[in-house]
Amino acid sequence: MTERRLRRALVAVTMFAAVLVVAMVAIVFYWQAYLLGPSDEAFTRGPYLVRVGDSSAELHWRQDSSAPVELIAWAPGAGPSMAVDGRFTALRPGTRYSWTASIDGVARAAGSFRTAPATLAEPITLVAIGDYGSGDDHEWAVARVAAAQDPSLTVTTGDNSYLNAAGPLLDRNIFRPLAPLLQRAPLVVGLGDHDTFPPGPKALLDAFDLQAERHVAAYGPLQIIVLGVDGDATGVAEFAAKALAEPGFTRRLAVVHRPLQPGDPLLDVLRGRVDAVLSGHLHRYERRVVDGMLTFTVGTSGMGPGDLDFTQRTAGAAVSLLDYGLLRIDLRADGTTYTFIDERGRVLDRLAVP
């Protein structure tokens, strides 16, 4: 009798163990099939657009593995284009292309870009951000709002990374917050004083394939002249004059980190030849006309105003705001509209220039 009971107990324990095994297998299966997310990010940075022209586009990226990346761009009515070393060629002007970066046959990143149009018959939209590289919630918010504008270009007015532009800081301060923006529009990088603090801007310039802090970006009929931190630095006026002498552009913007002041000699070079000057440095949004030159200060895209004693309204500013935000610029054949949009998506200032 005892032996029979023991046997029944043994059978019961074994069956219970079998039920536990079934439960365990079911949990593991459910976990793997329905709860686990996708595998880790294949790219440690990007892919992000470095430049887009009328018939070409270039993407950069970083990855841990050495697995080959297949880049394909496609547009309605155009055949697929394969990138070589991250560069697409033979694209159609003024066309929105979607791109996909695949590793081992699986898309790991995607985005889109618009090649430069030949004329302003098709409007060009760009956004300007500045003093943004804080890596905080405000920068992320401004980047989301900026991406929602679906710009063709993003111009930065400096201070891309705080406290400096050391290589290890760039992902936190630039590439992660701006990822949705960088997947659809190249960054025209203007340097700020924080970017030039030791160890210097080399990591930032290398990341965007730039040779120097002063450079010129062309996008179809638009020329953007990036002049660096100070407008009165040696050689800035000559650099600007040389860039302005290049033919073929119907619209020009100049970027200089520190806002120009009345009497600045650079104004004599730019006045009447560029549509507007974009600046940062002051953590405000300001719209001013300085010695007849329309200027915007956009130092509001991430780093807060700080001590208001050092963030005072500039005398003569038509508009001066402390709100976080970005400047949207719509270039059309019949004029230009400048719109300041805050981090909540509200329009706080608008100026239409015929």
Partner 1 sequence: MIALRTVCLVAAATAATAGAVLERPGVFAMFGSCGLVLFVCGSGLTVSDAIPCRRGAFASSLACTVAGPLLVVRPPTVVAVAAGIVAALGQLAVLGAAIRSRSAGTTSAAT
Q: Which is nearer to partner 1, 5 or 37 (by Cβ)?
A: 5
Q: Which is nearer to partner 1, 7 or 202 (by Cβ)?
A: 7
* 101 secondary structure, DSSP code: E
Q: Which is nearer to partner 1, 15 or 289 (by Cβ)?
A: 15
**How far is C-alpha 170 from the geometric centre of its chain's CA atoms?**
12
| 121 three-state secondary structure | coil
Q: Which is nearer to partner 1, 21 or 78 (by Cβ)?
A: 21
- Distance from C-alpha of 288 to C-alpha of 285, rounded to nearest angstrom: 10
Q: Which is nearer to partner 1, 20 or 67 (by Cβ)?
A: 20
Q: What is the nearest approach in angstroms of partner 1 to the Cβ of residue 24?
A: 13
Q: What is the nearest approach in angstroms of partner 1 to the Cβ of residue 18?
A: 4
| 108, 42 Cβ separation under 8 angstroms | yes
Q: What is the nearest approach in angstroms of partner 1 to the Cβ of residue 141?
A: 47
- Distance from C-alpha of 43 to C-alpha of 85, rounded to nearest angstrom: 16
- Distance from C-alpha of 47 to C-alpha of 284, rounded to nearest angstrom: 31
Q: What is the nearest approach in angstroms of partner 1 to the Cβ of residue 301?
A: 54
- Distance from C-alpha of 189 to C-alpha of 64, rounded to nearest angstrom: 26
The closest of 270, 269, 268, 320 to 299, measured between CA atoms, is 320
Q: Which is nearer to partner 1, 10 or 308 (by Cβ)?
A: 10
Q: Which is nearer to partner 1, 14 or 119 (by Cβ)?
A: 14
- Distance from C-alpha of 273 to C-alpha of 276, rounded to nearest angstrom: 9
| 1 three-state secondary structure | coil
| 123, 149 Cβ separation under 8 angstroms | no
Q: What is the nearest approach in angstroms of partner 1 to the Cβ of residue 14?
A: 4
Q: What is the nearest approach in angstroms of partner 1 to the Cβ of residue 28?
A: 14
Binding site for partner 1 (CB under 8 A): 7, 10-12, 14-15, 17-19, 21-22
| 280, 158 Cβ separation under 8 angstroms | yes
- Distance from C-alpha of 310 to C-alpha of 271, rounded to nearest angstrom: 28
Q: What is the nearest approach in angstroms of partner 1 to the Cβ of residue 9?
A: 11
Residues 6+ apart with CB under 8 A from 275: 251, 252, 253, 294, 331, 336, 353
Half-sphere exposure of 352 toward its Cβ, with a 13 Å CA cutoff? 5
- Distance from C-alpha of 13 to C-alpha of 8, rounded to nearest angstrom: 9
Q: Which is nearer to partner 1, 17 or 163 (by Cβ)?
A: 17
Q: Which is nearer to partner 1, 16 or 31 (by Cβ)?
A: 16
* 318 secondary structure, DSSP code: S
